[in-house]
Amino acid sequence: MKTNLHRLFELGQSIWCDNISRRMIESGELQRLIDAGVVGVTSNPTIFMKAITSGSDYDGRLAALLDERLDTYALYERLVLDDIADAADILRPVYDRTRGADGYVSLEVNPKLAYDTQATMAEARRLFEALARPNIFIKVPATEEGIPAIESLIGAGVNVNVTLIFGLGPYERVMQAYLAGLARLARDGGRLDRVASVASFFVSRVDTLVDKKLAARQAEGAAVDHLFGQAAIANAKFAYARFVEVFDHAGPFGALATRGARVQRPLWASTSTKDPRYSDTIYADNLVGRDTVNTLPPATLEAVLDHGNCEVTIGRDLDLARAAVDELAELGITMHAVTEQLRTEGVAAFAQSFDELLANLAGKNQRVRATV
């Protein structure tokens, strides 16, 4: 049966699921989602923290690994790499059917390496080689130190999901790093059609921060009701407009495309609705466009399946979006300041989740050890 996800795919947008767990894999839930039109999976430290340390889904695996006396980090990797590998194998038919456009699973490098270029590159290559599957993305953050790592990894043929992009400035540098990496791969005689990348542009968190600032202005007496919930979608639409320009075949990308290079698709991330005043599909319905990906957490995914919009919307009302952003700037709320704050906070939040994951995993491992 054709679903809304299939209809979006026909419009050029791929829907991925922003969640992964052992239960999803073993229960058949992941396959159910694929049958419903999901064509990829993303993960992050927070997702793995919740999956591994809550409930008992991983207790059997932990018990089986007790004799190996692994330290907590090595134990984390064994659990996570197994999940990523199994999910990638389930998605491999999608990868084959779409000729490498979709069917990917993403794994993030240790977020504590976000400000270390060389360590990020080494970790990314190690994970990519360990998984040894073509439908793996390694997630690298769009920090200043992450940008040269992206270029180097693409140049080495490593698939990269660039994460934690909030602002247009960093997004521009991400796209240029991808193009430079492709050019390097071409010079070295590599296969450009064998490497892929997406640029994860975070959405809802922009509204969360901007709306908080607007509430403060409103308390001071400013008439700002019409600006609530406008910033995030406007920011993403501007990003898409720039994507279309950069990957126009009439420009520098054209020569790379003739050798099989793929566009670096924008991936809309952080797309769950945080404010109950807004539609539960606001960050899906308004960002439908060709050559895009939207990775949805489970609740939002089910909402899109039930009542999501299935028409291209990404290019609509750009003038109104620009006017809203200009008005925000007049109030002292600039997108540059907002997105830089969010990027810094995002790196810190993922690092904190990673620390909590390792601490909770150590405790869980001790409890499992005490029961055998």
Rounded CA separation 297/279 (Å)? 15
50 is catalytic: no
Q: Which residues contact 32 (CB under 8 A, 6 or more apart)?
A: none
CA distance 343 to 353: 15
Distances from the Cα of 4 to the Cα of 100, 241, 285, 302, 339, angstroms: 22, 24, 11, 10, 31
| Catalytic-labelled residue, pool 139, 213, 237, 364 | 139
CA distance 251 to 247: 7
Q: Which two tokens stand for residue 288?
A: 């439908």
The span from the first CA to the last CA of the chain, in angstroms, equals 47
Q: Cα–Cα distance between 56 and 59 in angstroms, integer? A: 5
Torsion of CA 178, 182, 183, 187, to 10 degrees: 150
Residues classed as catalytic: 139
